[in-house]
Amino acid sequence: MNKTLVFAVTSAVLLTSSFAHAKTEQAILAGGCFWCMESDFEKLEGVTDVISGFTGGEIKNPTYNGNHRGHYEAVLVTYNTDVLSYQDILNHYWVNIDPFDAKGQFCDKGPSYRSAIFVANEQQRKLAQKSKQAVISEFTKQTVVTPILDAKTFYPIKGKESYHQDYYKNNPIRYNTYRWRCGRDSRLEDIWGDRVTH
C-alpha cells in the first residue's frame, strides 16, 4: 500500500471516528413559522438536524391542518457540542425572532405562532433566563414577552403533512416569497441590526 493511499485511508478512519464520537444535544424553540426557524438554524455551523413540529400543548398528535390548539409551532434543533453550546443556540435564537410580539411572529398571528423557549433541564433554564434578561436590559423601553417554559412532548410534523419538513429547501421560490411578504427579515433588521444573518 503506497503512502498516499495509507494517508487517505487513515484520514477517512479518523474523520469517521471523530463524527462517531461527536456529542450532540437538543433544544426546542418556537419562533413563529417553523419553515423559517428550520431555515435559520440549519444554516448555523454545528447544527446537525432541525425538525419542524408542535409542542407545548396537551393534545396528543397535533396536526397542522387539524387540531393543534394549545401547541406552538416549534423546531427541535440537534447540535454538535464540540462546535456549539446551548448559549450559542440561544444567541442565534433571539436575533431570529421578534421578542416583543405577544400575538405571534411577523405576519403570522395566533397562539401557535408565538415565540417561546422550551427548557429540558435546570442548566438550560438558567442560561435561557440569563439570555432573556440580557435582551430585557438591552431594550428597556419595550416588553420582552417570549416565555421560558418546561419542555413537553415534541410532535414532529409527519405523514401527509411531512412536506413541511425542509419546506424552504424543497419549495425555495414559494418559501422566499412567503418570507419576504411576511416582512420577517426587515423586522429582524429593525430590531437587531447587523447581528442578523441571512
Which residue numbers are catalytic? 33
Task: Copy the grid coordinates of residue 123.
Answer: 442548566
Q: How far apart are CA 119 and CA 75, in angstroms?
A: 13
Closest-CA residue to 145 (of 86, 105, 183): 105
Q: What is the C-alpha R_g of the chain?
A: 19
Number of Cβ within 10 Å of residue 49's Cβ equals: 14
**Rounded to an integer, what is the distance from CA 44 to the centroid of its chain?**
10
Helices (H), 21-153: 34-42, 86-94, 122-138
